[in-house]
A and B are shown apart, each in its own frame.
Chain A
């Protein structure tokens, strides 16, 4: 499954981010996706793919990092929801 278009679609629908503004090298920081935004994004991906996010994962810096995490979600197909937000 091609993950990048899915991420681009979610970023566009949720944050109004232009489709052409997102490449694998784009950093999440430059897209203003903070820790809470990342949790929201992962929840959305979980819902769309029907598989849970891994319990622990290194916080992604770029969109390519995010693609890798989601690919691992599909491979494993199990895990628990992440908890990245800080109060």
Chain B
């Protein structure tokens, strides 16, 4: 079977910057941080961390009380993002066999709010029983299931849980389904809502969170900077519609960009310490899969979490892959503004990469004032650039567990 070209014909997102992908991208171009000081509800001991919270999202208002009550927050965000991507694709008006369209989704923690609430009822409130919906709200594949119900999509429905690479892998695997000709359309993405007390405490114990107060929280995430202190947790969701190029052209769809390659690898060395050799293999695999040369890449949306070791290892890997072309490759870590949405980070940053290609504009790494020596070598973008020339771009996701996923996108040319 010959390979199909795969294009992006719909995008949808729920982010700390709001739920309009264009407005989200505009805010990033302006270098605007949506990170603030976050205090989880019902915390037995007070805690406040810089975090990206989707403050304007209201599940009951958006989905209706009955529907929202049957979903964990990660399903609510995911459903809204997927519905938006679907609407954006205008596939509802097309004569497309919905029984063949699948949903591949990514989440690291699934229904964390449900788990937290259940444990609180059992252990703190001394209840002998919890909600009968606890299992179906909390399960990791609940969001994907709700998306399929809502859109009437009867194809394969899989959820990938690969920590911070979850939604990149969901996109990559969906890409393969469309490229192979198994289905003309897939909905892919992910959602994560980790801002609950127990999860915050767990990340705090890892000693990798950037700290801050009301005044400093918006600038707390400083990837590649000499002053970087760690990552900032966030919640969010994103979805994209992947479509066979010929199918999309035939129905006159708006095409944002082409997804042309996907590379994966495992460091096979440590649960949390990243390894350059593994990342290089994923990067090289994505380039080879896309049939792109290193010097054709104009932009990289970095994994860039702002941890001491992670940022340095990523730059080392990219420098190895790009060689003499490194200094010409624009790079930014937009987590500096929207935070690290864990399992949803991959799709949110894929959307940023897609918008970069569609609008030929590059968002910056916010708060990057002094590039750390170990992070130098690529062209760090510190202010949003419009009128840029971006032919092809990579989006990196490097997860705990050593799982690496790299997506390679191209500017769409017929």
Residues on A lying within 8 angstroms of B by beta carbon are: 13-17, 36, 39-40, 43, 81, 85
Which residue from A14, A16, A43 sits with its C-beta under 8 Å from B132? A43
B75 to chain A, nearest CB (A): 16
Residues on B lying within 8 angstroms of A by beta carbon are: 64-66, 69, 129, 131-133, 136
Chain B: which residue is nearest A85 at the CB level? B132
Please name 21 pairs of A and B residues whose Cβ atoms are closer than 8 Å in the assembled complex, sorted by A: A13-B65, A14-B65, A14-B66, A14-B69, A15-B65, A15-B66, A15-B69, A16-B64, A16-B65, A16-B66, A17-B66, A36-B132, A36-B136, A39-B132, A40-B131, A40-B132, A40-B133, A43-B129, A43-B131, A81-B129, A85-B132
In angstroms, Cα B61 to Cα A74, docked, is: 35
Which chain B residues border A14 with CB–CB below 8 Å? 65-66, 69
Which chain B residues border A40 with CB–CB below 8 Å? 131-133
B145 to chain A, nearest CB (A): 14
Which chain B residues border A17 with CB–CB below 8 Å? 66
In angstroms, Cα B69 to Cα A13, docked, is: 10
Chain B: which residue is nearest A35 at the CB level? B132
Do B133 and A36 touch (CB < 8 A)? yes
Which chain A residues border B65 with CB–CB below 8 Å? 13-16
In angstroms, Cα B66 to Cα A42, docked, is: 17
Chain B: which residue is nearest A14 at the CB level? B69
- Other A-B pairs, 16, CB within 8 Å; known A15-B69, A36-B132: A13-B65, A14-B66, A14-B69, A15-B65, A15-B66, A16-B64, A16-B66, A39-B132, A40-B131, A40-B132, A40-B133, A43-B129, A43-B131, A43-B132, A81-B129, A85-B132
In angstroms, Cα B69 to Cα A14, docked, is: 7
A2 to chain B, nearest CB (A): 24
Which chain B residues border A13 with CB–CB below 8 Å? 65
Chain A: which residue is nearest B130 at the CB level? A43
Which chain A residues border B131 with CB–CB below 8 Å? 40, 43
In angstroms, Cα B64 to Cα A39, docked, is: 21
Which chain B residues border A16 with CB–CB below 8 Å? 64-66
A12 to chain B, nearest CB (A): 9
B188 to chain A, nearest CB (A): 28
Pick the 4 closest A-B CB pairs, nearest first. A16-B65, A39-B132, A15-B66, A16-B66
In angstroms, Cα B129 to Cα A36, docked, is: 15
A4 to chain B, nearest CB (A): 20
A14 to chain B, nearest CB (A): 6
In angstroms, Cα B65 to Cα A13, docked, is: 8
B231 to chain A, nearest CB (A): 37
Chain B: which residue is nearest A83 at the CB level? B132
In angstroms, Cα B312 to Cα A74, docked, is: 66
Chain A: which residue is nearest B132 at the CB level? A39
Chain B: which residue is nearest A32 at the CB level? B66
Query: Which of the listed residues B64, B65, B132, B133 has the most CB atoms from chain A within 10 Å of its own CB?
Result: B132
Which chain A residues border B66 with CB–CB below 8 Å? 14-17
In angstroms, Cα B129 to Cα A43, docked, is: 9
A48 to chain B, nearest CB (A): 14
A5 to chain B, nearest CB (A): 19
